[in-house]
């Protein structure tokens, strides 16, 4: 397993913006807008209430906190100290409970094998040098029979046009340089990494943004953003 699986430039990018994490009009606006959709989907697949959940690459805690609000006992991992600082501070405001830890998935997995009912790793794989290593670490930390969720960006011309040209240059939904095309991951590659890690893919769904209505929705179009639900066999 790759224990140095982090890109310092990526971590710095998120650290520099961390103070704006909970501003719903900031660079993190898309995460705020997609959160209710992914939260409902995860909850419908894995019933979060009462579950022990690990959120890998949790950042400022948008998903972590919302899963805690659904009754999950959430641990959030990230390697950006600043993002975790913001996440911890926000707990005072929200009154929710999340255990935030400064760690990579790989380092945490070394001490927490088969510990969590649910592992989520959203919008993070496209920011690490070796996504297969992160996926293997997530698979190691979920209990047999438990659920793992990943979301990332597909790699094709449409994804390049929508996620980089459209989102970063035309609509300015994200700062320029947020995403690097070469790090995008095809669903077949993600499914293969899951298989190699001993996970079986249960569902693949797409997430689309309509620039006219400015609304995100889940559906069958996996061309740009997509989410995978996988399970570790019991
Ligand atoms: C786009 S943000 C996604 C945040 C959160 N998962 C969400 O979807 O709301 C990516 C996060 O991954 C974190 N990250 C990047 N590389 C990491 C690594 N190797 N280990 C842990 N976290 C990492 C960044 O610091 C950042 O907080």
* DSSP track, 162-178: IIIIIIIIIS-SS-TTS
- What is the helix (H) or strand (E) element at residue 12, kind and residue range? helix 8-17
- Give 39-64 pLDDT, tens digit per residue: 999 999 999 999 999 999 999 999 99
Cα 158-149-17 angle, rounded to 5 deg: 70
Query: Would you say 88 is a known binding-site residue?
Result: no
* Helices 131-141, 187-196: inter-axial angle, 10-degree rounding: 50
Question: Is the Cβ atom of 104 under 6 angstroms away from ligand 1?
Answer: yes
How is residue 2 written in tokens? 């790759």
The answer on pLDDT for 112 being more than 80 is yes
Q: What is the pLDDT of residue 1?
A: 55
- Predicted pLDDT at 160: 83
For domain 8-231, is the CATH number 3.40.50.150?
yes
Centroid of ligand 1 to alpha carbon of 58 (angstroms): 6
Ligand 1 geometric centre to CA of 234 (Å): 28
Distance of alpha carbon 142 from alpha carbon 53, whole angstroms: 9
- So where are the chain's domains? 8-231
Question: What pLDDT band is residue 159 in, cutting at 50, 70 and 90?
Answer: confident
* Helix (H/G/I), strand (E/B), else coil: 192: helix
Q: What is the reported pTM?
A: 0.96
Nearest residue (CA) to ligand 1, atom 1: 123
Confidence of residue 167 (pLDDT cuts 50, 70, 90): confident
Question: For the residues 69-88, what does the mean pLDDT come to?
Answer: 98
Query: What spacing in Å lies between the alpha carbon of 116 and ligand 1's midpoint?
Result: 19
Provide the pLDDT confidence category of residue 2 given band limits of 50, 70 and 90.
Answer: low
Does the ipTM exceed 0.95?
yes
pLDDT digits (tens, 9 = 90+) for 6-34: 999 999 999 999 999 999 999 999 999 99
* pLDDT one-digit tens code per residue, 178-217: 888 889 999 999 999 999 999 999 999 999 999 899 999 9
Residue 15 CB neighbours (<10 A): 19
Is residue 57 marked as binding?
A: yes
* Annotated binding residue 207: no
Q: Is the pLDDT of residue 113 over 90?
A: yes
CA-to-CA separations, 124 to 91, 135, 181, in angstroms, rounded:
22, 11, 14
The string of DSSP letters for 27-65 reads TTHHHHHHHHHHHHHHHHHH--TT-EEEEET-TTSHHHH
């Amino acid at each position: 397993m790759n224990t140095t699986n982090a890109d310092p430039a990526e971590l710095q990018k998120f650290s520099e913006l961390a103070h704006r994490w909970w501003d719903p009009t900031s660079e993190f606006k898309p995460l705020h807008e997609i959160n209710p959709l992914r939260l409902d989907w995860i909850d419908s697949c894995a019933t979060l209430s009462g579950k022990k959940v690990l959120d890998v690459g949790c950042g400022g805690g948008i998903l972590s906190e919302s899963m805690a609000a659904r009754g999950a006992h959430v641990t959030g991992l990230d390697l950006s100290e600043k993002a975790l600082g913001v996440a911890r501070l926000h707990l005072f405001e929200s009154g929710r409970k999340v255990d935030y830890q400064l760690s990579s998935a790989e380092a945490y997995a070394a001490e927490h094998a088969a510990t969590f009912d649910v592992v989520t790793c959203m919008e993070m794989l496209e920011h690490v040098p070796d996504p297969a290593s992160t996926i293997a670490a997530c698979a190691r930390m979920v209990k047999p029979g438990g659920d793992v969720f990943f979301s990332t960006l597909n790699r094709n011309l449409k994804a390049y046009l929508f996620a980089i040209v459209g989102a970063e240059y035309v609509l300015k939904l994200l700062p320029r340089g947020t995403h690097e095309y070469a790090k995008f991951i095809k669903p077949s590659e993600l499914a293969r990494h899951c298989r190699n890690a001993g996970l079986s893919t249960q569902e693949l769904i797409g997430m689309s943004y309509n620039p006219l209505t400015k609304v995100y929705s889940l559906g069958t179009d996996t061309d740009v953003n997509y989410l995978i639900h996988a399970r570790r066999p019991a």
